[in-house]
Chain A
């Protein structure tokens, strides 16, 4: 039995890892040069508690979020994923918002979220003395944070250790169907035979689904922008801080992300459905999140921002996750994984295994399945030349990252691949000292000219040739 998963984001990677425990042949197909570069790359990185989602309107979200949260507690340990179980506070600034908190608490009860409680003003302030304004707060101790790209990398590394094959720089061009049964995928790298196709194509899941005639949903990109501040720029909260949510979104979050930087965002801007590649930040959006976040937390000035980024969330028709086997036998949709998609991913993976079992597929467990994966641990006590001065990343870690990139099948040397594995280039100077040094190590390891090393895949080469190239024309 051969399974092809389209999309190596958090969902595809979770499914690959989950299926790797069974006696099936799993192929993970990804159009980007590395794993986790789509929706998973740029989001808030929160493992939500599960009080946000209305179980009547969004039953998949409500159920899989709470279940996913519990599984992540285990997975971060098994897979050595950087994380922080920091807990969260939902801040009511005014008396009028306290009612909303009570609504969240009741919903949390219905969704079986453990350990929620409402705190009074003084209790909230004793937890977070720098809050700008607080009347009451909903305390959700089960909320955590992970680095989503690192989580995807960890899952894929473990999946590969357990026999999963990864096809990077491979774009799916079509799904081959005959006799109401999937036969495989037409890709930019040729035909890939498959009995089962799992569509975890993120923003493009609607387009893939249409290939088998399942056109009942559409994915619209919803942009969210973020600001990250320098590490010593100002006070940082110990917990994830949410404003009181609106109907449409959980609002602009203030948090100390896993690496220790103050981060604020996202906003929510719906884009036309054609603009699934638009990951630009906008001056207006950045001002908007700065203003909103300032309402709950004293932010450093804007010139202490060391990074801005934006991500797209795949907003499905109807708003709930689409997880089901379609009429064409062998085709399973796992689409519309908007928030809390990251949280739900492990539970979604288990749901997919149940769906496959329900289709009569024999999921026999492998006798030997490696449950653990170790991260790259060089860092502070390590040895070797320091490459990234801001985050103290040393040369052996860079080389280990490259070894691991190659092991999962990365073919295009990219600085971003090293960045997500080591945190190099993400500090105060944003790589202005070390990007070229990292590129020269990549060039050596991939036997590539230095100028052909990319920032983030083909089309983003760092240079145009050797320094005399333009004079020779």
Chain B
């Protein structure tokens, strides 16, 4: 069976990509590993979804519902419980997507693939927390699934590692269900979450330990205490540290794009984003393979994931119709100053595009510049936790675009 487009992943980016692709008249198959669509949204019962792209404040399940309805009304063929295990380039025009389904192992062919498999959470072993392997250590998302999909209370006294959005939202979630949040421990000297989520700490009177890290967990069957140590600017441990009594340790130490399948298929991965290197169609270095959502770049707003899904679908349409994306001298987006990453990595110069970028460290009165096109913008505060989205006009010409943040 040959599809125009196979979308891998039925979260926000994949759902948006699939309905957009179908709208463009492309024969589209959407594969998702879970029994139900929506990706991680169904367990995100807090509000704040859709503020930008719908102008409404929805919960995760409500937002997912909108996207799913859009897919249901379209001609997209949907397969759930289809866990993609490999992507193979039969040629530049034909891709084979292999997936495990309840019936066994199946494969489909497609002219274009939109990869939107999302991200996974860093766990305690990756962030170097030693000690006992006991119950009560969960990633924030796992605890969220336990509470809001399975109805289980994970613990009574919680320490949270990392002040990112997921961790803060879970701090509130635990507090609302009557648990004691002993503290949020952040390795960096500044907090990681969006401003609106940092309010949670004040609202619920939760201590925040900046420049500290959890180094060890101790307990017999279950977590009993964790060791917290202060770190200096180079994140080296200083002093003996102290113990916090708790029965639960939540790890909210960042997300990692799930790109194993893309990497194995040969796509180039950007070490700065953890996702693939893409052009302004969000096409990876594999012809006709596009990426969107958190497997492209860790987004802090679902709206961006949706936007990337739609951009990738338009790119896939262009690829399918033209039997490839027209050759041009791609303009590399160079980084200068306080720029941790910028996506897309390459611009065609033939259309307006969104640049997604993050700074490496917080800065006040920032100056954001793209000198080649005369873009110059002052931003009062830029933080690594808040992605900056910049519209770049089509007129970029010549060989260079440089994003400078000072």
Q: Name B127's closest neighbour in chain A (CB-CB).
A: A303
Indicate if the CB atoms of A462 and B154 lie closer than 8 Å: yes
Indicate if the CB atoms of B83 and A386 lie closer than 8 Å: yes
Contact partner of A429 (CB less than 8 A), chosen from B123, B128, B138, B153, is B123
Given contacts A435-B142, A451-B152, whether A283 and B130 have CB atoms under 8 Å apart is yes
Which of A19-27, A134-142, A160-168, A377-385 binds B? A377-385
Indicate if the CB atoms of A432 and B153 lie closer than 8 Å: no
Rounded to whole Å, the gap between the CB of A116 and the closest CB of chain B is 36
Rounded to whole Å, the gap between the CB of A278 and the closest CB of chain B is 8
Indicate if the CB atoms of B102 and A384 lie closer than 8 Å: yes
A431 to B120 CA separation, bound complex (whole angstroms): 11
Residues of A within 8 A of B222 (CB): 459-461
Indicate if the CB atoms of B146 and A280 lie closer than 8 Å: no
Contact partner of B100 (CB less than 8 A), chosen from A306, A386, A435, is A386
Indicate if the CB atoms of A281 and B130 lie closer than 8 Å: yes
Interface flag for A114 (CB, 8 Å): no
Residues of A within 8 A of B247 (CB): 464
Given contacts A232-B260, A386-B33, A429-B120, whether A462 and B132 have CB atoms under 8 Å apart is no
A460 to B247 CA separation, bound complex (whole angstroms): 11
Indicate if the CB atoms of A454 and B153 lie closer than 8 Å: no
Interface flag for A302 (CB, 8 Å): yes
Contact partner of A459 (CB less than 8 A), chosen from B123, B147, B220, is B220
Residues of B within 8 A of A384 (CB): 102
Given contacts A282-B130, A305-B126, A467-B153, whether A462 and B104 have CB atoms under 8 Å apart is no
Please encode chain A, from 438 to 467, with 1 for each CB lying within 8 Å of some chain B CB and 0 for all others: 001000000000110011111111111111
Interface flag for B369 (CB, 8 Å): no
Interface flag for A389 (CB, 8 Å): yes
Residues of A within 8 A of B105 (CB): 380-381
Given contacts A432-B120, A454-B135, A456-B221, whether A470 and B33 have CB atoms under 8 Å apart is no
Residues of B within 8 A of A382 (CB): 104
Rounded to whole Å, the gap between the CB of B254 and the closest CB of chain A is 11
Given contacts A459-B222, A461-B135, A464-B153, whether A232 and B263 have CB atoms under 8 Å apart is yes
Residues of B within 8 A of A306 (CB): 123, 125-126
Indicate if the CB atoms of A465 and B153 lie closer than 8 Å: yes
Q: Name B145's closest neighbour in chain A (CB-CB).
A: A436
Residues of A within 8 A of B123 (CB): 306, 429-430, 432
Indicate if the CB atoms of A457 and B142 lie closer than 8 Å: no
Please encode chain B, from 135 to 158, with 1 for each CB lying within 8 Å of some chain A CB and 0 for all others: 100110110011111111111100
Contacts beyond the supplied A282-B130, A432-B120, A468-B177: 14 A-B pairs with Cβ under 8 Å: A304-B126, A305-B128, A306-B126, A381-B105, A385-B102, A386-B33, A392-B100, A430-B125, A433-B120, A433-B142, A459-B222, A460-B221, A464-B156, A465-B152
Residues of B within 8 A of A (CB): 33, 35, 81, 83, 85, 100, 102-105, 120-121, 123, 125-128, 130-135, 138-139, 141-142, 145-156, 177-179, 215-216, 218, 220-222, 247, 260, 263-264
Residues of A within 8 A of B (CB): 232, 277, 279-283, 285-286, 302-309, 380-386, 389, 392, 394, 428-433, 435-436, 440, 450-451, 454-471, 473
The 10 closest A-B pairs by CB, nearest first: A459-B221, A470-B178, A460-B221, A460-B135, A463-B152, A455-B135, A386-B83, A432-B139, A281-B130, A471-B178
